[in-house]
Chain A
């Protein structure tokens, strides 16, 4: 190569080298420049500027640090840098919507932000220091931030038991249990109960094939002329527990045929005394008498009926048992009488108590149900099908298994399948990448996935076996919240210690009381040591509260203590002996440790004390705002008309001193009575007595106006 050419090359090389060097320096400089311009540093600087505009600058900047702030909770594996930008989070003076984000203070909550950080409740990316990365809900980050509406889902990850502070979470858990989701899915904290849907072992003795056909086709029964969804012709906001399965016409015929053949348990047919039937059948007001008994027994406490008043039809009554407006057109007459006589003979798990019936009452009530609670058009659009063919029965049986009916319903010889639907006990911890969105166009997030799946399972997976549920928007959000709370078993022992478990309560009475407790199903409405329903008063300490005589009288003839209640204790027709067994059990076992009913004698209260008590009651404390005496007063608390017979003096005193100590959460406010006032008020309450035996007044027609 000639020399001048070499010089040319080397000049060109030198130029290239120079450019490369400059480029290299620029590239090197990018990183520090970018670091200088980090998003979080901008927020740091802005916060200082913002703090200087506030009157309490000094306090706001007292613990300001120019670098990244971090909260570390090793037990939970949480690294939380949110406070790097959210610097005013625990400054009370920065509360309220007037303060711009990200500097606003957190509203007051039971958990301290500096202790728990943010992502434990809000989820999101704790370690991130960029706004989009930390919060983004649309991208497939492992944990996008939870919208405020669903934040109670995060509460439920640790608080596995009752949490009254999170009403939406509680509602969601209740719905998941009520809608029998645990029939097919494994859920965290919701166990599979003994019976989900009705036992169908002998369904053929109860209803006709045509009725089953109609029910399978449209369990919400029908929509009325205005398009409102109705159950048995009555508009109803509650979702019936039986969901709607998309069944074809042949499937409906086969399944209804198969079910109508289920008669494994023979019917215990009631044989009425022919003389009773003959005598009653002559009575012109047979049906009216039946209706009166139906009302007097307070069937409405558990069963609703549609009542039309002033052109508006409403369901009136409880929802523990099924709604009965048209039940006379549904069930067979023989079955009805056998059921009323002994519900457990047909359905061993039934919650319905076994009433003591006379032949007369039973006949009258069955006549009333078959005559009045009917709808001649109920099955008008159902084809008459007769007995099913062998092929139909076979196909029906296959469908029963394939559609998952066996997950909720029992038929003799068919066990319930294990884990029919996917395990949902850790759904709330799933990453978006683990979800199957299929053909749907919904936003890629766990929340939209859950909601789409519940509203229309086929929209996400065309082959889904899951039936369709119709939830109101707020119930849908509640169910979503509860599912988000299910994050599975804790990852570590340290984490497990942070979990607030569900409280397990047990109450297994034995002996004669145990038998009556089962027969009359006391626990369906009342609580005993944390077990049972919440419809009626908690009876855990009833033996300290009520006198033996009063309990016996009440059980024989329940009167209401709270005049406004629609739902009242049913008339079980108990014998005096049964009532005495229950009262004795209450008196010996259901005692409050602090209240000994025999410790305070009625004799220590004088008429002078009672007179003072009356004045305190009426003038100083004005208890009549909530309690009724005679026919005046309020009806927030129980009527005190018979309190002298009802309550023990020891209970009244203890109650006046501190009601919440006896019944946590009771609404009677604790008042600062002096000890003299307590004695005087007790003396007065003990003088409030009604004529000795209530006799039959409680069950008279007047007392039966439940609604």
Chain B
């Protein structure tokens, strides 16, 4: 084990683990990259670190300056942890319907939390953060949905790591949130091997938390559209809360305790594996299961947990 000067140096270089025993197709291998081992607990540590360091480099973030973001949890945790280490105050707008562990974790790192209404979802949290950014032009608004440093973290980190550890990859399957992972990794892999197929998994957005009054309030992250996401991605599938929870439970068979977005990614992997004849699928586990224990994902009655998932934000 190496000696690290700072916990921030432990972000990235996560393990890629073969879990082909869960593949529904014996000719398709499946490997999963465990991002829950990052010190802030999720893949979002990568984007958080890159957004802060890029801002420090270009002068938009300086000593003592407040950082602002909106997040349903993981980006907030990464930013809160790094802000704490580097001495920046941090304010985050979080939808009120996230699991209690997430807000407690943010408090542990000293973040200031502003709650946004559950009914407005992640879009509502983002709009509030945008309004706050206008009110406080002296703050640094990291804006993960539009910050080029978000996909850059994956283009320079996650993507090269996957290529180094599994150059035989034929399909990359990942969830779609800010689109940072799919854009950064997808672009890197396609540059190395244009025949790698990039599959997006659209997670279950609970219909009661979609948070829109009209379709015109809908939102596609600039990270996706500014980087030609529609051309980069080859397929996109939706998965439901129930199959996501079932896959979260199945992952424990191979010793992986991961969050519900990992279950969703695996549900997408299963669809991909069933459709192709042979190949090697790489997917990403965005976080561990710790922050979701209170939601009874692993232990509760499946119908009850699946119904509850329609009203909570997991991503």
Q: Real complex partners, A and B?
A: no
Taking Cβ atoms with an 8 Å cutoff, the residues of B that contact A are none
